[in-house]
Amino acid sequence: MSTAKSTIHHSQLPPADRFRTPVYTKWQINRLEKIVSIFGFDYFRGKTVLELACGHGHIGGQFRTVLGATVVFAEGRAEHLPYIRANNPGADVFQLNQEFEWSLGRRFDAIIHFGVTYHLVNWQQDLRCAMEHSGLVIYETEVTDSLSPTQVRRFKDPQGFDQALNDASWGSRPSAKFIENEIVQNGGTFVRYDDSALNAGAHIYDWPETGSADQIPDENYSYKTELGKRRFWVIRC
Ligand SMILES: C[S@@+](CC[C@H](N)C(=O)[O-])C[C@H]1O[C@@H](n2cnc3c(N)ncnc32)[C@H](O)[C@@H]1O
């Protein structure tokens, strides 16, 4: 893979919007660059990709315009759909609330599943649904720094355009081990990338697991506890 060819420049990205702050942009680019470094620049050309909880569709937009994929965009918030369409003319765009079991009646060559698990209560069901729709799920989320394979912390998200959609604004941060066990139980395998190249602003991927959350009583767990500790996986299923 040529590094020059694989670089996704800021100038190639669509115009500013609510998902176009400096941190969002850096975060999007770093994750895209990571995907290109793993798969190569041409891997997704001509392939079908589903981007879930896509915000305004910037990451999927790069898959279309730079990597040559056919991208279908799903997002839970109706208010984001016009922006996704404006950023991705002619693309298939629809509303999907991942809090509920979902089935689209078709499969994709790859699924982008970024930044939404921690906005869901029913995160295990949603992970299973995603794995049923593709042999390749690229998955990232905030997690709890816990060594327990069953630890999941529920917390109240702040309200906001990029936060939880459910009425009560509840989200979940499972431990990385919990997520990995679910992947295996669903019949998948995974590679995890604890890579500093993914870091952007408060979003950190190369932190060492300490199990510190195992020491925090649930009643003291808040939205801000461990904010920013994330993990990134390539799942094969
Ligand atoms: C933190 S943003 C991440 C955006 C983008 N995926 C990324 O990683 O850059 C979370 C996104 O998930 C969406 N979202 C929140 N709850 C959702 C749900 N239950 N179903 C689908 N999308 C949801 C939000 O509207 C928002 O676009």
Taking residues 196-222, report their average pLDDT: 92
CA-nearest residue, atom 26 of ligand 1: 162
Is 70 exceeded by the pLDDT of residue 12? no
Q: The CATH number of the domain where 63 resides is what?
A: 3.40.50.150
Q: How far is CA 148 from CA 166, 175, 231, in A?
A: 27, 7, 16
Is 80 exceeded by the pLDDT of residue 5? no
Q: What is the pLDDT of residue 6?
A: 44
Q: Is the CB of 122 under 6 A from ligand 1?
A: no
In the chain the beta strands, taken as DSSP E runs, fall at 48-52, 70-75, 92-95, 110-114, 136-142, 152-156, 170-174, 189-192, 230-236
Q: How many structural domains comprise the chain?
A: 1
Taking residues 88-103, report their average pLDDT: 97
CB of 203 within 8 A of CB of 227?
no
Judging by DSSP bridges, how do beta strands 110-114 and 136-142 pair with one another?
parallel
CB of 84 within 8 A of CB of 75?
yes
Q: How confident is the model at residue 10 (pLDDT cuts 50, 70, 90)?
A: very low
Query: Closest Cα partner for 151 from 186, 121, 176?
Result: 176
Q: Which residues of 151-162 are buried (b: 16+ CB within 10 A; e: fewer)?
A: bbbebebeeeeb
Q: How confident is the model at residue 13 (pLDDT cuts 50, 70, 90)?
A: very low
Ligand 1 centre distance from Cα of residue 113 (Å) = 9
**Whole domain around residue 118: which residue ranges?**
3-236
Kindly give the number of the ligand 1 atom that is closest to the alpha carbon of 58: 9
CA 5 – CA 42 distance, rounded (Å): 10
Q: What is the pLDDT of residue 225?
A: 80
Q: Which of 162, 166, 198, 227 to mutate to test the pocket of ligand 1 (most atoms within 8 A of CB)?
A: 162
